[in-house]
Amino acid sequence: MSDYLKMSREELAEEFKSVRHEYEHLRGLHLSLDMSRGKPGFDNMDLSGEMFDLVGNDTGFKNISGIDCRNYGGLDGLTELKTLFGKILGLQPDQIIVGGNSSLNMMFDTIAQAMTHGMGGEPWCKQDGLKFICPVPGYDRHFAVTEYFGFELIPVRMTPEGPDMNAVEELVKDSKVKGIWCVPKYSNPEGITYSDEVVRRMARLKPAAGDFRIFWDNAYVVHDLYDEGDRLLNIYDECLKAGNPDMPLIFASTSKITFPGAGVAVEAGSPNNVAMLKDRMKYQTIGPDKLNQLRHARMFRTVDDVKRHMKRHAAILRPKFESVISELVKQLSDTGIAKWTNPRGGYFISLDVLEGCAKRVEQLCANAGMILTPAGATYPYGNDPLDSNLRIAPSYPSVEEIKKASVVLCIAVRYAALEKLIAEKA
Ligand SMILES: Cc1ncc(COP(=O)(O)O)c(C=O)c1O
């Protein structure tokens, strides 16, 4: 493709004519496509269907410790799942709390409890002007939780190695800054895995707030698209070495391993943090859904079982990611109007279009029957100051649909860029 930024007004007008023609053709197809949310496809969920035969009258309801999972109790979850998640996250089983169906719910609860009862210090709600660090682009639901509780959301730009640590180190000198959101492996939406250096600098932070916490949301810990997955340094070990064992709160879930909304979530951390969290949880619940935990424990007896399962997911997801990337390369490389990530895992691709064009691309896609995550969603308050970033979620549609959607997306990116460039030359 030629570089749009070097084209004359006449060349741009000529190109626009052909792009508009293509766009009108696509609109005429009355497509109905959705690349908005990171949901697994039905074929991904089918991979876990056997789970429903693993617990029942024939197979029994007891876990390896002989606990009858039909009854109340077991506040922090089944032993075998604590062991399994411990191995996955590089932690001891007693550092793990296996909860309900949603890690986001555990994050929300943890912050809600810190608001009313503190995080080892004065309740956060008694302190004014609280702030939270939000690496951008990032996960809209993280930002929404801290916005809901009244934090000022401070964006910090992501680098190819993780959050800009110079900025983070500076920001934590302010005692009002209580935490940072991190998706350290295959980040949402860029698919970036934090480098060792970023993890070490994160672990060595010396925040002015003694109750500062790193919300280490390892949502995509086993979600490799290729045999050789990204490697992430163990944040807890690094924090321990740095004398900050209580700083990280670690989260994960099986939402994209088994069933979103019907999986199993975990929260983990230092012995101090786990004791504090369990002490709070006992007022909140008599125990989690152990039958669902048992189904998961029987399906995944070892880490190798999880790895085998994730390879099956990858076989479904990889062609979807590759279809998007190949269309981006075909239509947009060398045009100078777009940049994208090419993740090796996770659930998203991040696309940066010409400044001031992301909302227009979203609108053009919508008019051609394709829903994108709203432009701006990857920034605090839904406000991308450059109006440039779009999150592409290729997991849900079929490969055939993804191919069509990628064509629409790229045509829309070119359309919006040409409109802008032509207007600038007017
Ligand atoms: C980074 C991240 N964390 C958490 C979640 C939600 O996890 P859960 O289903 O365990 O609440 C998602 C879902 O897309 C996510 O991308």
**From CA 103, how far away is CA 188, in angstroms rounded?**
15
Task: Say what the pTM is.
Answer: 0.97
Q: How far is the CA of 121 from the centre of ligand 1 (A)?
A: 28
Average pLDDT estimate for 95-122? 97
| In the chain, where the domains are located | 4-44+307-425, 61-301
Architecture of the domain delimited by 4-44+307-425: Alpha-Beta Complex (3.90)
Q: What CATH number was assigned to the domain covering residues 61-301?
A: 3.40.640.10
**From CA 384, how far away is CA 290, in angstroms rounded?**
41
Looking at the CA of residue 347, tell me the nearest atom of ligand 1.
Answer: 16
Give the residues across from 389 on adjacent strands: 352
Q: How far is the CA of 27 from the centre of ligand 1 (A)?
A: 33
Of 192, 253, 257, 350, the residue with max ligand 1 atoms within 8 A of its CB, to mutate for a pocket test, comes to 253
Average pLDDT estimate for 406-420? 98
For residue 44 and ligand 1, the question of a CB distance below 6 A is answered with no
- Looking at residue 426, what is its pLDDT? 83
- Residue nearest atom 15 of ligand 1, based on CA coordinates: 219
Q: How far is the CA of 420 from the centre of ligand 1 (A)?
A: 35
CA atoms within 13 A on the CB side of 231: 4
State yes or no: pLDDT of 5 exceeds 80. yes
Q: How far is the CA of 128 from the centre of ligand 1 (A)?
A: 29
Of 101, 103, 249, the residue with max ligand 1 atoms within 8 A of its CB, to mutate for a pocket test, comes to 103
**From CA 290, how far away is CA 288, in angstroms rounded?**
6
| pLDDT, tens digit (0-9, with 9 covering 90-100), for 287-309 | 999 999 999 999 999 999 999 99
State yes or no: pLDDT of 254 exceeds 90. yes
- Looking at residue 272, what is its pLDDT? 98
- Looking at residue 312, what is its pLDDT? 98
Looking at the CA of residue 252, tell me the nearest atom of ligand 1.
Answer: 10
Q: How far is the CA of 13 from the centre of ligand 1 (A)?
A: 43
For residue 38 and ligand 1, the question of a CB distance below 6 A is answered with yes
**From CA 403, how far away is CA 408, in angstroms rounded?**
9
Summary mean pLDDT of the chain: 97
- Among 27, 78, 62, 84, smallest CA distance to 309 is for 84
Amino acid at 360: R
**From CA 422, how far away is CA 247, in angstroms rounded?**
51
For residue 368 and ligand 1, the question of a CB distance below 6 A is answered with no
Q: How confident is the model at residue 37 (pLDDT cuts 50, 70, 90)?
A: confident
For residue 260 and ligand 1, the question of a CB distance below 6 A is answered with yes
For the chain, give the secondary structure using H, E and C. Answer: CCCHHHCCHHHHHHHHHHHHHHHHHHHCCCCCEEECCCCCCHHHHHCCHHHHHCCECCCECECCCCCECCCCCCCCCCHHHHHHHHHHHCCCHHHEEECCCCHHHHHHHHHHHHHHHCCCCCCHHHCCCCEEEEEECCCHHHHHHHHHCCCEEEEEEEECCEECHHHHHHHCCCCCEEEEEECCCCCCCCCCCCCHHHHHHHHCCCCCCCCCEEEEECCCCCCECCCCCCCCCCHHHHHHHCCCCCCEEEEEECCCCCCCCCCCEEEECCHHHHHHHHHHHHHHCCCCCHHHHHHHHHHCCCHHHHHHHHHHHHHHHHHHHHHHHHHHHHHHCCCCCEEECCCCECCCEEEEECCCCHHHHHHHHHHCCEEECCCCCCCHHHCCCCCCEEEECCCCCCHHHHHHHHHHHHHHHHHHHHHHHHHHHC
Looking at the CA of residue 265, tell me the nearest atom of ligand 1.
Answer: 10
For residue 253 and ligand 1, the question of a CB distance below 6 A is answered with yes
- Looking at residue 222, what is its pLDDT? 98
Q: How confident is the model at residue 1 (pLDDT cuts 50, 70, 90)?
A: confident
